[in-house]
């Protein structure tokens, strides 16, 4: 009798341990996150910023397409860092911008607000696009637009992007961040300081810009990789960086599917946007230091 009682107790204990182990394993699985595909950027020197020759070229190609010199008169590219050589330690950066599918996992896990914006809020931002233009990019019931899972996520503010990297850090134990302007530019441009990842001559066939279409975001990875294997670094969507232009503003870089010219698509180009801005032309990618 005693042996049978002991056996029953042992059996119950074994079952309880198995259930606990299964529960822990299931939690670990549901709590895990698929990290973005990364490229490794080696330690070393690179040329950052632009000089007068590059800026003049950017103004020239803009004028050829637009038929006016607004960018030159407003000195859009004169705010770029003066060209200099910088040494960076090794780091990893996501191969593509964060996609809608990537961001959806974050939304599901945290309950963070999905990329959506009301007409009133959109109009208050004072952008040139009417609200009807953004309909294809709006999420519904916490889900990305149908057929756009592998497109870059847009309509995310800098604060939204920060929340994503904080969540990713918590889930993986790595110190994820948005890239600073320096880390972003080296990864996209390469070491040699060329105007574009492929060289010094703008070629609209090598990126998603407003010069050839499709006048919308595309699935990531449709164009040739840059010097370090990075995809969609120029064109497609502007990307938030951690670098502050002024209080409450952050630099975005890379140009977008809507830009023509395309002086603004050069990796050296930059302009500051309010941290709270949600735009159909702005997404982000992530990095961590080795």
Residue-wise burial string across 17-29, b where 16 or more C-beta atoms lie within 10 A, e elsewhere: eeeeeeeeeeeee
pLDDT of 11 > 80? The answer is no
pLDDT tens sequence across 249-286: 999 999 999 999 999 999 999 999 999 999 999 999 99
What structural domains does the chain harbor?
A: 33-289 (3.90.1580.10)
Choice among 8-12, 231-235, 259-263 with the minimum mean pLDDT:
8-12
**What pLDDT shows up at residue 32?**
76
Q: Cis bond leading into 214, ω under 30°?
A: yes
More confident residue, 8 or 257: 257
Distance (Å, whole) CA 266 – CA 120: 33
Distance (Å, whole) CA 244 – CA 252: 10
pLDDT of 72 > 70? The answer is yes
Percent of the residues in the chain that have a pLDDT greater than 90, as a whole number: 87
Residue 24: which pLDDT band, with cuts at 50, 70 and 90? very low
**What pLDDT shows up at residue 13?**
40
Distance (Å, whole) CA 182 – CA 28: 35
For residues 174 and 288, the answer to whether their CB atoms sit within 8 Å is yes
Distance (Å, whole) CA 146 – CA 279: 19
pLDDT of 131 > 60? The answer is yes
pTM > 0.85: yes or no: yes
Nearest to 100 by CA among 280, 274, 271, 289: 280
Specify the 3-state DSSP secondary structure of 70: helix
pLDDT of 26 > 50? The answer is no
Bridge-based pairing state of the strands 249-253 and 271-274: antiparallel
**What pLDDT shows up at residue 28?**
27
Write down the H helix ranges in 140-265: 158-172, 181-189
Distance (Å, whole) CA 71 – CA 32: 46
Q: C-alpha distances in angstroms, 272 versus 43, 104, 120, 239, 241?
A: 28, 27, 23, 11, 10
pLDDT tens sequence across 203-229: 999 999 999 999 999 999 999 999 999
Q: C-alpha distances in angstroms, 214 versus 78, 149, 240, 266?
A: 30, 17, 23, 20
**What pLDDT shows up at residue 33?**
85
Distance (Å, whole) CA 28 – CA 183: 32
pLDDT of 194 > 70? The answer is yes
């Amino acid at each position: 009798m005693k042996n049978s009682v002991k056996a029953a107790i042992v059996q119950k204990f074994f079952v309880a341990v198995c259930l606990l182990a299964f529960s822990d394993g299931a939690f670990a699985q549901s709590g895990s996150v698929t990290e973005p595909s990364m490229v490794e950027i080696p330690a070393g020197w690179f040329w950052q910023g632009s000089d007068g020759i590059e800026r003049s070229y950017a103004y020239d190609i803009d004028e050829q397409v637009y038929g006016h010199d607004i960018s030159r008169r407003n000195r859009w590219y004169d705010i770029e860092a003066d060209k200099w050589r910088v040494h960076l330690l090794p780091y990893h950066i996501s191969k593509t911008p964060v996609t809608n599918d990537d961001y959806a996992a974050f939304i599901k896990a945290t309950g963070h607000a999905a990329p959506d914006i009301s007409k009133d809020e959109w109009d208050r931002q004072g952008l040139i696009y009417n609200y009807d233009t953004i309909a294809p990019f709006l999420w519904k019931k916490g889900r990305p637009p149908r057929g756009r899972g592998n497109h870059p996520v847009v309509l995310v503010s800098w604060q939204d992007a920060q929340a994503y990297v904080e969540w990713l850090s918590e889930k993986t134990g790595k110190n994820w961040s948005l890239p600073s302007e320096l880390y972003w530019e080296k990864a996209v441009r390469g070491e040699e300081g060329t105007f574009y990842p492929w060289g010094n001559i703008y070629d609209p066939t090598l990126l998603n810009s407003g010069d050839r279409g499709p006048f919308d975001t595309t699935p990531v990875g449709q164009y040739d990789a840059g010097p370090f294997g990075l995809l969609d670094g120029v064109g497609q969507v502007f990307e938030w960086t951690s670098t502050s232009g002024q209080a409450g503003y952050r630099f975005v870089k890379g140009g977008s599917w809507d830009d023509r010219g395309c002086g603004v698509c050069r990796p050296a180009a930059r302009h500051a946007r309010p941290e709270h801005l949600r735009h159909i032309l702005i997404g982000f990618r992530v990095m961590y230091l080795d």
